[in-house]
Structure 1
Amino acid sequence: MSTDQRPLRRDARRNREALVTAARETFGTKGLDAPLEEIARRAGVAIGTLYNRFPTRDDLVEAAFLPALRTSLTHTEEALAADDPWNGFVLFLERSVAMQVADRGFTEVCVRTFGTESELGATKLAIGERMGRIIARAQESGALRADFRLEDLGTVFAATTGSPRWRRSLGLLLDGFRAEAAHPLPED
């Protein structure tokens, strides 16, 4: 049995959990480039303990945000399962924006590229694939304008996540995304 497979001692498990909690809080307020020393201090451990548990920043980011990404993946599955494709599209956007508004670190995880060899990168890839299906399904139903593209979601998130009135901003955008409101858009 390798050291990676052995269960952690109680104190090591407690330190790991404290580091992950401190990372979620620190990254959530200060972003993914927050000082690792601050995370170790918040967790009540030495910086060497942080590096023993998480050799790279990406390892710590993955431990801190993989649960949130899995929640986001569940949201995409629920959106795809919605009887009404438009309602599924709206559900996905409302939940995604709410998660990003609440957590700066999560927003940064959503826009950063991670290798697909990591579970974080693979989960992001799965979310992206489902997002494309959510859009296609809403377009095929005739509810979502035909020229809406996956990359337009970046504009949606940028326009809403920084707003204290994000629900209103999202509502205005959604009205413009409806097929019946569509006017031809210029290509960039």
Structure 2
Amino acid sequence: MEPSPDARKRPRRLRCDAELNRDRIIDAARKVYRREGLSASMASIARAAGVGIATLFRRFPTRTELIAAVFEDAMERNRAAAVAAGANESAWDGFRGYIETVCGLQADNRGFAEVLTMNFGSAKDLERKRQEGFAAFTGLIERAKAEGRLRKDFTPEDLPILLMANAGVLGAAGDAAGEASRRLVGQMLRAFAADPAEPLPPAPAPKRLLRGMVRQRRAGAPAN
């Protein structure tokens, strides 16, 4: 007996609903991670997506799988930026461009700095991209030192330290966060340079910076 047209349509509809839920969860997680970092709970992401916690876990059985889906594009951008920087004729120009790109990715989503230091053994493609990006960056460091443009005592561990400092600026500067972050990165690149004559991006206007900090403090203040 042939299945009815409605019966044939049902599996297709279920697949469409499942895909819609997946996209909704990823979009919600991206926004929550951008605001709260990777410490955000799965329950808060489910609420933001408008789905039940059981639905979330059906689509993403582990937190790592959800993080991998959210940050797949950003990790590819990081990998591509590191590889392109390594191909730059000037290792210092490549190094500077890569640092600016990574800090820009962090400005787009606060969780990105944590993702760079995570091990994604179960998400093989993401882990491969992370390792390729790191390998390109470490090679770039050695070339920039050999050029005499990067301090000899710079280590790969200085990048997560910079990202931690940048996270503080992004979290505190409110509306002026983008300008304040670029200023910090400029200051740090000058500190990393063997010849500290690198030009700095302009600082945020004092009133704009103060206004942004006050607004950010008010937004984070607990309700009475």
TM-score by length of 2: 0.71
Point out the structure with max Rg over C-alpha. Answer: 2
1:33 paired with 2:39, answer yes
The 3 A distance-change label for structure 1 pair 50 and 93 is same
1:180 paired with 2:180, answer no
TM-score by length of 1: 0.84
1:168 paired with 2:209, answer no
Over the matched positions of the two proteins, sequence identity in percent amounts to: 37
Question: 1:149 deviation in Å?
Answer: 1.4
Q: Which residue of 2 aligns with 1:109?
A: 115
**Correspondent of 1:149 among 155, 166, 169:** 155
Question: 1:116 deviation in Å?
Answer: 6.8
Q: Which residue of 2 aligns with 1:66?
A: 72
> What whole-Å deviation, never above 9, does each CA across 1:61-93 have from its counterpart, x for those lacking one?
111111111111111122112222111000000
TM-align CA RMSD? 2.0
Question: 1:110 deviation in Å?
Answer: 2.0
- Alignment of structure 1 residues 134-145 onto 2, 5 Å: 134-145=140-151
Larger RCO of the pair (alpha carbons < 8 Å, separation 6+): 1
Say which SS state the counterpart of residue 137 (structure 1) adopts: helix
User: What amino acid sits opposite 1:161 in the alignment?
Assistant: A
Question: 1:40 deviation in Å?
Answer: 1.8
Q: Which residue of 2 aligns with 1:90?
A: 96
Question: 1:117 deviation in Å?
Answer: 5.8
Contact 2:68 2:123 in 1 (8 A): no
> What whole-Å deviation, never above 9, does each CA across 1:74-131 have from its counterpart, x for those lacking one?
1112211222211100000001011112312212212333337633323222211111
The 3 A distance-change label for structure 1 pair 159 and 58 is same
User: What amino acid sits opposite 1:95 in the alignment?
Assistant: T
Question: 1:132 deviation in Å?
Answer: 0.1
Q: Which residue of 2 aligns with 1:48?
A: 54
User: What amino acid sits opposite 2:126 in the alignment?
Assistant: L
Q: Which residue of 1 aligns with 2:20?
A: 14
Counting matched residue pairs gives: 175
User: After the TM superposition, which parts of structure 1 deviate over 4 Å for at least 4 consecutive aligned residues?
Assistant: none
The 3 A distance-change label for structure 1 pair 155 and 139 is same
Q: Supply the distance in 1 between the matched residues of 2:72 and 2:28 (Cα, whole angstroms).
A: 15
The 3 A distance-change label for structure 1 pair 158 and 42 is closer
Contact 1:97 1:161 in 2 (8 A): no
Say which SS state the counterpart of residue 111 (structure 2) adopts: helix
